[in-house]
Amino acid sequence: MMLFPLHCLDLHVTPPTLLSSTSGSSSGLGNISIVYVPAGCSAAYKAVYPWSSKVIVDGSGVAVNVTVTPGMLGEEILKQTGYLSDVNYLTVSGSVNDVDINNIKNSMPNLLTIDMSGLDMKEVPVGMFIDRKAILSVILPSVVETIGGGAFCGCVNIESIVLPEGLKSLCYEHYIDGKYDVGAFKSCTSLKSISLPSTLERIEDYSFSNCTALRKVTFNKGLEYIGNNAFYYCTALKSIVLPETLDNLPYGVFYGCSSLENIVLNGVKSIGFSSSSYSGAFENCTSLKTVEIPEGVTFVGTRTFKGCTNITEVSLPSTLASCGETPFGGCNKLSSVTCKALIPPTLASGLLTLEDMGLPLQRTLNVPEWTLNQYKLTSGWAAFSQIVSIPNFNPSSINVTNDAVLTLPTAGLPANYKPDMNIGLKSDTLASLHLKGSGTFTLGNYAQYINSQLLNEVCMTADSVQVKMYLEKYRSSTG
């Protein structure tokens, strides 16, 4: 089937003479990758620059369908056409080896479509189709488990691709052919949507970065890892719903997704890094207006929402324990923050920069009523111009990550209120809680790391009690 994407041009018998384009391009062909010419005219176009620099398709093109054994792809193709470079549409099944892969990669520059569904290929090799701007369509092997770093990087005319069930990982390479930070589908700038198969476990760094036409990603339950900058500058992406199986979001993962309006972070426990050297997970997502960080998240990293200039409201969960430096820096319209954490989370600095806080905008911080004064006395939180209590709210989780004092409300708590409490972190950091007041405090689950302390002045009961130990894993220099 003939495909005519934006970067193609259908012409007549004689190659026209081209003047320089208005943009200053000497070729006058701009971003055109493929030129379709009448049957029998390809030689004339290939003999004249700039036409010779493009993929020339003669008539309806050359289609080849072969079944091969390892090392025999070239021989089988030559039974049907004069040269490997003649092939525009390839269907290949059977088994291949490195020689065959090299032929596809380096000896078929005019390839437009390839159907590999019948290939016994578990891994699409690193850089197999890198910068193949004329590739319009790819059907992956039905048994593929891994797509190598840069396998389709720079395939600017691929609009869609089906990732088959059985696929487990999309990989990354630091350097290929003069390119750094090369993800599997990086810079596939015509790719519009992607549905991840239920078997996919890992999306490595830069996998879909700079896919500027990507509007929709359907994430799969079972996904365990998304790498740094995986969706960096996907400027058309409007909404994301992450699966409950994903614990962490790294740095830069949705950086610059300027059309992103809605984020649902199911299951996420930690967002971004503490270092200011790395981009924030949602930095410069300028279409976000409200952000709700879900229960379960314990850390929001440095620069996480930096430069999200249209955010007006933020809700932080009761499980939040700490934040990196100014995670909402540059959010100069942010006027309302709700923090449900009973004990003020540790801030590396403020939620916003000093410049942000100095703007003539009243910013309201809403916090649990029975620790209102603690927020007013805690560095970073105390910078808000107005700090008020959340009516009729009691948090579902109490996390203690440093030295804290907690006084139970004198009016008592609801009879059915049973929060979970966790004292300490998975590290050698000492945490302590001094619990004051009177009456009975009933917990659901109580967990304490052995390097942490509880000084308790009230009657406290819990449905379950855990004492935890964290053992740091060290690796010797010999591995």
Predicted model pTM = 0.90
Give pLDDT, residue 9: 67
Using pLDDT thresholds of 50, 70 and 90, give the confidence band for residue 451: confident
Q: Containing H/E element for 104?
A: helix 98-106
Longest dimension (CA), the chain: 94
Give pLDDT, residue 89: 98
Find the mean pLDDT for residues 49-61: 90
Give pLDDT, residue 5: 41
344 preceded by a cis bond (ω within 30 of 0)? no
Give pLDDT, residue 111: 97
Using pLDDT thresholds of 50, 70 and 90, give the confidence band for residue 427: low
Find the mean pLDDT for residues 437-456: 89
Indicate the range of 28-32, 265-269, 284-288 predicted with least confidence.
28-32
Taken in order 366, 368, 373, 376, is the CA torsion positive or negative? negative
Better pLDDT: 356 or 319: 319
418, 397, 407: which is closest to 461 by C-alpha? 418
Indicate the range of 133-142, 268-277, 418-427 predicted with least confidence.
418-427
pLDDT digits (tens, 9 = 90+) for 334-380: 999 999 999 999 999 889 887 887 777 889 999 999 899 999 999 99
Q: What is the average pLDDT value for the chain, to the nearest integer?
A: 91
Please state, as a whole number, how many other Cβ atoms lie within 10 Å of the Cβ of residue 57: 23
Mode of pairing for the β-strands spanning 202-203 and 169-170: parallel
3-state secondary structure of 373: helix
What is the C-alpha end-to-end distance of the chain, expressed in Å? 53
- For 372, the token pair is 């209102």
Cβ(5)–Cβ(32) below 8 Å: no
Using pLDDT thresholds of 50, 70 and 90, give the confidence band for residue 469: confident
* Whether the predicted pLDDT of 260 surpasses 90: yes
State residue 433 phi and psi, 5-degree precision. Answer: -130, 130
State residue 336 phi and psi, 5-degree precision. Answer: -140, 125
* Pairwise CA distance, residues 388 & 273, whole Å: 30
- For 411, the token pair is 């009016």
3-state secondary structure of 202: strand
Sheet holding 239-242, edge to edge: 193-195, 216-218, 239-242, 262-265
* Whether the predicted pLDDT of 392 surpasses 90: no
* Whether the predicted pLDDT of 177 surpasses 80: yes
Q: Which residues contact 79 (CB under 8 A, 6 or more apart)?
A: none
Indicate the range of 122-136, 300-314, 342-356 predicted with least confidence.
342-356
